[in-house]
Structure 1
Amino acid sequence: MIRLLALILSLLLASPTLAQGTPESPHWDPASEYITAGQDELGYRSWFMALPSRSYQVKMFNEYLSTYDVAGIVPTWQLFRTATAWQRCAGQPFEIPPTSEWPNIVQTLRYVRDYVIPAVGPVEPVSAYRNPALNVCAGGAPESAHKHYSAIDLVPLRQTTREQLMQTLCTAHGRRGPAYGVGLGFYAFLRFHVDTTKYRRWNMDPAVASHCPPIVRPPDFASVGRALPQPQVTTAPEATALEAVKAEQVPQPSERAPADQSISPPDPLAPQH
C-alpha cells in the first residue's frame, strides 16, 4: 500500500500540467514577469497612504467608473500602474491620470469587458497611464495611447500559450475591433496591448497572422517590446493635487460603441483589491 501511494504521488508530481503550473497554483503568474516590488499591491498601499489627497482622488475615479458602468472589470488599483520601467525612469509606480483623460479609458474597459475577458478569461493590467515625461523615458511613441489613458497592457490569468492568446484575441479583434476603434498589439511572452484610439494591429507572429486580417503597423504604438536607448532620467510629476481635482469638471466619454453587458459596481468609496 505504501509503495502504491508513493507511485501515485510520483506520477502526480511528474504531471506536465502541474509542472507548468495552473491559474490556481503559485507557479502560474505571468504578471510577475512585468511587475517589480513597489508596483505590486503592497506597493500600491504604500503609495496610496503617502499623500492624503489620494484617498479623495481614488474615490472620485471609482465613482466615475461606476457612473459609466465600467467599475469592477479589473481591480481599480491596477489601472493606476504606470510603466514597467518606472524605477529606471525615476517615476512613480502608480499615478491617477488628469481627469481630462478619464473618458478615454471608458471605451477601452468596455471592450476588455465585452470581448477580451469572455475570450481569454481574467486579465491583469500591468501598465496603463504614462505621463509625458515617463512615456518618453519608457520608450513610448510621441502620441502613445498610454499617454492619453486609452491604452492598457494586460496579461491573461488563465493558462494559455502565446499562439493561443494571439489567435483568440485576433478573432475577437477582427469581428468587434472596428466598432470600438481598437488597437491590438503583442509584446514579449503573454503581454498584450489594447487601446481604443483607432483600429489596427501589430507584432503578430507570422504563423498566426496568416489566419487574421492584414497587420497594420501604425507609427504611434508604444515601443514596450523593443530594446530602448538609454534616455536621460527625468522625474515624473506627482499626481494631481486635491485642489486641482476639485476644480476640474470631469468630461463625459464618447459613445462610439454600446456596451453589451452590465455589471454590479463595487463600493466606490474604498480602493479595490
Structure 2
Amino acid sequence: MRRFGYIAMLLAAPGLAQPTVNAASPYITPGQDEPGYRAWVIADPSRPTAVAAYYAFLSGRGVAGIVPTWQLLRTATDWQKCAAEPFDVPPPEQWPHIVETLDYVRAHVVPVIGPVEPVSVYRNPALNACAGGAKESAHAQLYAMDLVPLRPIQRGAMVRSLCAIHLWRGTGFDVGLGFYKGLRFHVDSKKFRKWGGDGKGESSPCAAMVAELDAAAAPQVASGTPISPTIPPVDPLAPKP
C-alpha cells in the first residue's frame, strides 16, 4: 500500500497549473516559431504539398493532432549555426518511425504532465552531425522528439512523473527518455533506455526512483485507465491536401 500511494503521488504530477501563453518560447529559437513556419512553408512551392502529405500520413495512422503538425517539422535548435533550415519534412520512408513515439506521448506523457510542444524533431544527417548528434541518433531517423511542457510545472515534478511512467510503460514502446537543461526532455521509440544531461545512463534522474520502485507496483499502475487527451479533429496549420 505504501508503494501504491507513492506511485499515485508521482503520477499526479504536483506543481501543474493552468496553461499560459507561449510557455515553450524560452526553448524555441527565433525563426522556429509559428510566423517562422509560415514564412518557411510559402518560400518553396513544393513545401505545402509535402506538409499536406505528411499530415495525411499521420492522420491515416491515427496520430495526427496530438501536437500541431508544423511543430513536428522543427529541426535542430542549432539550425542557424549549422546554416540549415528551421523546418524540414522528413523523408517519407522514415514517417512510420514517429508513429509509436507520438502514440506514447498521447497515451502516457500528456496524461501525467499535460500538453507538450516539440522543439526539435527530425535532423537530416548533415544537420545532425553539425549539431553534435550521434551518428545513429534517433532524431536523424525520426524516432525522437525533444519536448517542453506547456503548463507551468516544477522540474522535479516533471522528472518524477516522466520517470515513473517510463519505468512502467516505456518497455512496451521501446522508449528512450532523456533530460536536458530546464524543462526540455527527449522521448523516442527506438530503444528502451534513459540518460541525463551528459548523455549517460548513470546520470539519469530516474536512477533514484528505480531504487525505490520495483516490478511489484507495475500491475497496480497498469490496471488504471489512462486519461485520453482531447485531440482536435483538424490541424489549423496543415495545408489542405
The TM tier, using the shorter chain, reads 0.7 to 0.9
Distance in 1 of aligned mates of 2:169 and 2:119: 23
1:44 matched to 2:37: yes
Mapping 1:179-258, distance limit 5 Å: 179-203=172-196, 209-212=207-210
Aligned-residue identity in percent: 52
What residue in structure 2 maps to residue 228 of structure 1? Answer: none
Aligned partners of 1:182 and 1:194 also within 8 Å: yes
Distance 1:56 1:45, change over 3 A: same
Aligned pair partner of 1:271 in 231, 238, 241: 238
Alignment gaps of 5+ in structure 2: 1-16, 198-202, 213-225
Q: How far apart in 2 are the matches of 1:262 and 1:24?
A: 14
1:69 Cα offset (Å): 0.5
2:221 aligned residue? none
Structure-2 change in CA distance of 1:166 and 1:24 (3 Å)? closer
**Displacement of 1:51:** 0.8
The question of whether the paired residues in 1 share the 8 Å contact of 2:32 and 2:86 is answered with yes
Find the aligned partners of 2:53 and 2:174 in 1 and give their Cα distance.
27
Kept in 2: contact 1:59–1:269 (CA 8 A): no
Q: Paired residues, what number?
A: 206
* 1:157 aligns to 2:150 (yes or no): yes
Q: Distance in 2 between matches of 1:64 and 1:262?
A: 21
CA distances 1:23-61 after superposition (whole Å, capped 9, x unpaired): 5445x72x2222122110000000000011111111111
- Which has the greater radius of gyration? 1
Match of 2:122 in 1: 129
TM-score, structure 1 as length reference: 0.69
Distance in 2 separating the partners of 1:94 and 1:136 = 17
Relative distance call for 1:103 and 1:206 in structure 2 (3 A) is closer
Please, which moves more after superposition, 179-188 or 204-213?
Answer: 204-213
Shift of 1:111: 0.2
1:131-150 map, 5 Å: 131-150=124-143
**Distance in 2 (alpha carbons) for counterparts of 1:263 and 1:206:** 31
* 1:32 aligned partner: 25
- CA drift of 1:103 comes to 0.4
d(CA) in 2 for partners of 1:59, 1:184 = 29
Q: In angstroms, what is the RMSD of aligned CA positions?
A: 2.6
TM-score normalised to the size of structure 2? 0.78
